[in-house]
Amino acid sequence: MSASTIENSEYCDYRSPLAIRYASKEMRYNFSDQYKFSTWRKLWIYLAKAEMMLGLVITPEQIAEMEAHVNDIDFKAVAEEEKATRHDVMAHVHIFGKQCPKAAPIIHLGATSCYVGDNTDLIIIRQGFNILLPKLANVLSRLAKFAMEHRDLPTLGFTHLQPAQLTTVGKRATLWLHDLLMDERNLCRARDDLKFRGVKGTTGTQASFLQLFNGDDKKVKQLDQLVTKMAGFDRHYLVTGQTYSRKVDVECLNALSSLGSTVHKICSDIRLLANMKEVEEPFESTQIGSSAMPYKRNPMRSERCCSIARHLMTLVNNALQTAANQWMERTLDDSANRRITLSEAFLSADVLLMTLQNITEGMIVYPKVIASHIAQELPFMTAENIIMAIVKAGGDRQVCHEKIRVLSQEAGAQVKQHGKNNDLVDRIKKDPYFAPILNQLDNLLDPRTFVGRAPQQVIEFLEEEVNPVLENYEGILGGKVELNI
């Protein structure tokens, strides 16, 4: 391959890994130039239609000409025009006007750049949430089924990452579900709180439109309402500067960054459990875990989620800084930043949900490994139950407590100093003091008796909190989680 051929190759340009490696086709399109700039053209059409309806001299022929060229954007010509004008919106106005010579005089009439820029951003953000929410619902559905399936499988609980009172595999999954439900609510709220910037003019006063309509305040108000409705919004912001408030972006990115923290926590748990060989994410038959160690089954999906989630969680700080630094009615130092931050936030969230969906639909549980870990720790946790049994059989609590304390220390030394199994139960069986309760030991050591109401909590949580949310997505999920036992 010649040097010139290499220079012209697409592989010689930087391409975001979020776009080429990770994110979905629909989310990539949502942030594509084609979607963005065809939306600009639609907004110019909405504006012209509304102005015509309210009496300005605009003809149906001009509207039809614009509608005929919504999608055929000459990006090369726009780039050349922008290079000359140093203004992206005017570059598109000029090229659109060349394609629509009859409509050219009325394109962008009375508007400022933020009419197309900000309104398009709001459309894209709303659509971004619409893409994410069904994917989040899929994760909720699959994780709920996992929780139900393993609701009564005992496992060690961990506090301070040290073995603690038993829980169940399904109950732990409900902790993940709980946070994801909060994220679903936050994403819905951020989406549903979005309004349209509308038709506000250069500093938000609508002065240019008031002039166009010869001071007719009522028509200017109608213009705002008509364009808002054409763009598919029910409401518009009643007051703006040149831009809509950048705190709107903060609220949207807060919801996305919070989702990132949830996914990071879930996948960190899975990575820790994979280390213990209790739980494993899906692993294809041809998948390679390590280039040097063929036996490895690395939790690479969970690691990817943690990696991208860390990036997502930082992006809200950009939005906060941008909102804080908007001077008066606006400054342009928000523009370049938002081009990067908004798209990367939604693309990152998209990657996280797709990957987590893949993990949750094929997660593997190893009950025998879990049981062996329980066997190492449960004897220590049964002390109180054994003491109570001895007391009921006529023994002395303090004597029994001391007996178990000594035997526990001896068994602990076997585990920690010699790497042997926990033999506390064998030591208890050999001690004549415990003879009166030997026939009860198996029941006293049954892990299922140490999980409290965990299985019932799983069912109650799925029924009362998860299924009502899943019902909102019944069309794409095929129904709620079946709780019949």
Q: What does the DSSP assignment read for 195-256?
A: -B--S--SSSS-HHHHHHTTT-HHHHHHHHHHHHHHTT-S-B-S--SSS--THHHHHHHHHH
Residues whose CB falls within 8 Å of the CB of residue 314, separated by 6 or more in sequence, listed in order: 257
Residues 356 and 199: their CA atoms lie apart, in Å, by 40
* 366-to-32, 147, 152, 159, 446 alpha-carbon distances in Å: 44, 15, 14, 21, 18
Both structure tokens of 352? 């996280």
Q: For 186-213, b where at least 16 C-beta lie within 10 A, e where not — what string?
A: bbbebbeebbbbbbbbbebebebbbebb
Distances from the Cα of 22 to the Cα of 27, 148, 167, 349, angstroms: 10, 30, 35, 11
* 113 given a catalytic annotation: no
Choosing from 2, 4, 160, 285, which is the catalytic residue?
160
For tokens 């309104």, name the residue: 119
Return the structure tokens found at 162. Answer: 């040290």
Question: 160 an active-site residue?
Answer: yes
Q: Are 395 and 381 in contact (CB under 8 A)?
A: no
* DSSP letter assigned to residue 183: H
The span from the CA of 379 to the CA of 95, in Å, is 78
**446, HSE (Cβ side, Cα atoms, 13 Å):** 8
276 three-class SS: coil
Q: How far apart are CA 146 and CA 77, in angstroms?
A: 54
How far apart, in Å, are the Cα atoms of 333 and each of 198, 256, 340, 434?
A: 22, 23, 13, 77
Distance of alpha carbon 28 from alpha carbon 20, whole angstroms: 9
279-280 and 364-365 strand pairing: antiparallel
Q: Is the dihedral of CA 44, 34, 24, 337 positive or negative?
A: negative
Tokens of 252: 């949207």
Asked if residues 257 and 312 have their Cβ atoms less than 8 Å apart, the reply is yes
Q: Which amino acid is at 235?
A: R
Looking at 9, 290, 307, 372, which residue is catalytic? 290
For helices 33-53 and 217-230, angle between their N-to-C axes, nearest 10 degrees: 140
* Amino acid symbol at 394: G
Given a contact cutoff of 8 angstroms between Cβ atoms, the answer to whether 397 and 391 are in contact is yes
Which residues form the catalytic set?
Answer: 160, 290
